[in-house]
């Protein structure tokens, strides 16, 4: 597990065993995470080229930690620190996930998540610590200049209506829509096996 630039965002690069039959890997190991992911839901998203999903996040508590991989095709996966008061608030980090490297990204509660489809089609699967609850789910506009996320050039992004209508980072701050860093630290510390301020540390 390698840090992606701020606490709570980690990149996992698995060891892939190949032979004449194909390949085998362990794409998820709960014991590799310092704070185990309590699995409540598993999602599968199939997207065409240019589809941009996110930036999505959930209220904390309870929030929603995610463990994300791309099982077919390739995507640019992005984590954003949306925790107000965090020393890295507003920072983003990106990693390419694809069906060759088989890498995965872990995101702690309070972080925003988005991905951009690079291949003609891509299938992304992710494990979630809590079940989907519409009243707790929110988004930030992924093309907000204040975020400054560098999306792939030469591919027109395709957004869902709700993502296209999502507030900017400044608007979310103004309306008190974002999780606070203090609340996230308290939540990390209260979770089984948690370490305050070091979610997902290995």
- What residues act catalytically? 56, 126
Q: Is the omega angle on the peptide bond into residue 55 within 30 degrees of 0, that is, cis?
A: yes
What are the CA-CA distances from residue 100 to residues 18, 69, 72, 143, 201 (Å)? Answer: 12, 11, 9, 28, 25
Specify which residues 117 forms β-bridges with. Answer: 75
| C-alpha 158: how far from chain center | 19
DSSP 8-state code for residue 168: P
* Cα gap 28→195, rounded to integer Å: 20
> Measured between alpha carbons, how far is 179 from 57 in angstroms, rounded to an integer?
9
């Amino acid at each position: 597990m390698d840090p992606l630039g701020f606490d709570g965002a980690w990149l996992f690069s698995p060891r892939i065993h190949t032979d004449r039959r194909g390949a085998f890997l362990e794409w998820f190991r709960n014991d590799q995470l310092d704070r185990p992911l309590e699995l409540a839901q598993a999602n599968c998203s199939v997207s065409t080229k240019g589809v941009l999903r996110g930036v999505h996040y959930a209220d904390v508590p309870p929030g929603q930690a995610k463990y994300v991989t791309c099982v077919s095709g390739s995507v640019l996966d992005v984590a954003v620190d949306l925790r107000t008061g965090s020393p890295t608030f507003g920072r983003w980090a990106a990693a390419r996930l694809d069906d060759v490297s088989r890498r995965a990204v872990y995101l702690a509660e309070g972080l925003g998540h988005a991905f951009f489809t690079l291949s003609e089609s891509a299938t992304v699967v992710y494990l979630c610590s809590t079940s989907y609850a519409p009243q707790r789910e929110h988004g930030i506009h992924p093309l907000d200049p204040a975020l400054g996320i560098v999306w792939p050039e030469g591919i027109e992004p395709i957004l869902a209506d709700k993502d296209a209508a999502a507030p900017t980072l400044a608007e979310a701050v103004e309306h008190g829509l974002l999780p606070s860093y203090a609340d996230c630290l308290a939540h990390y510390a209260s979770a089984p096996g948690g370490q305050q301020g070091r979610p997902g540390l290995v």
